[in-house]
Amino acid sequence: MRGRTVLVTGAGGFIGHHLISYLVREGCDVRGVDLTPPEYEPTAAHEFLELDLRHRDNCRAAVDGMSEVYHLAADMGGIGYISGSHAVITLNNALINAHMIEAARQSKVEKLLFSSSACIYPQYLQKCADVTPLREDDAWPAEPEEGYGLEKLFMEKLCQYAMEDWAIGTRVVRFHNVYGPLGTYDGGREKAPAAICRKIASCRDGDSIEIWGDGQQTRSFMYIDD
């Protein structure tokens, strides 16, 4: 007897790779999709498809036969990458997200979870280090991170419309700087915890390391198992 048929997009990435391992342990029948397989260890997915989800037909192939979708696929990286690639990120992710939710509708997917980001939160609430913890309803009035944050916020609304108009059971999670084993640590797309670990590990006695900002800013982090 087959378990729940589950698709994880972005399955070659850090969070997607760990999520697949969890779902398999839970007894799900898991299909992973990404441009490339995981970098540091083999996937636990029962099936892994290397597909470019910017293309509509690939999204349809990915969701075929699935009852649930965990949609993590995105063009993303650390703040250095996302702040310098607004056009490419926005275009790539808009194509991926629109085609994926349309494919989910056509395939009558029962549930779709979208991986959003803390980048959707307004910049005007984060201008000083003594910041008040953000809440879900702080997203509006909006002033998200340019590019990456803006397209994430738009997809959140598209998920809302899909639930209201098409009865797809959509859910949204907003991740804050997830870290842990098997995360990317170099190449320009790594997140802050991995970057600072790499810099410290490569230091010789007497060396200094470069950090961005004035040293007073605060960040929220979440361990991958949580």
- Determine the CATH number of domain 5-178: 3.40.50.720
Euclidean distance between CA atoms 187 and 78, whole angstroms: 10
Q: Which residues of 14-43 are buried (b: 16+ CB within 10 A; e: fewer)?
A: bbbbbbbbebbeeebbbbbbbeeebeeeeb
Instruction: Provide the H-helix boundaries in the chain.
Output: 14-25, 56-63, 79-82, 86-106, 148-166, 192-201
The residues annotated as belonging to the active site are 148
Asked if pLDDT for residue 1 goes beyond 50, the answer is no
Answering whether pTM is above 0.85, one says yes
Query: Which of 135, 131, 96, 92 minimizes the C-alpha distance to 114?
Result: 96
Q: What is the pLDDT of residue 26?
A: 96
Which burial class, exposed, middle or buried, applies to 5 when counting CB atoms under 10 A from its CB (0-12, 13-18, 19+)? middle
Domain boundaries, the chain: 5-178
Q: What is the mean pLDDT of residues 111-130?
A: 93
What is the DSSP code (8-state) at residue 147? T
**pLDDT score of 25:** 96
Give the alpha-carbon dihedral of 158, 161, 165, 169, to 10 degrees. Answer: 80
Q: Tens digit of pLDDT for each residue in 57-109? A: 999 999 999 999 999 999 988 777 888 899 999 999 999 999 999 999 999 99
The residues, any chain, with a CB within 8 Å of residue 179's CB and separated by 6 or more, are 191, 193, 194, 221, 222, 223, 224
Mean pLDDT of the chain: 93
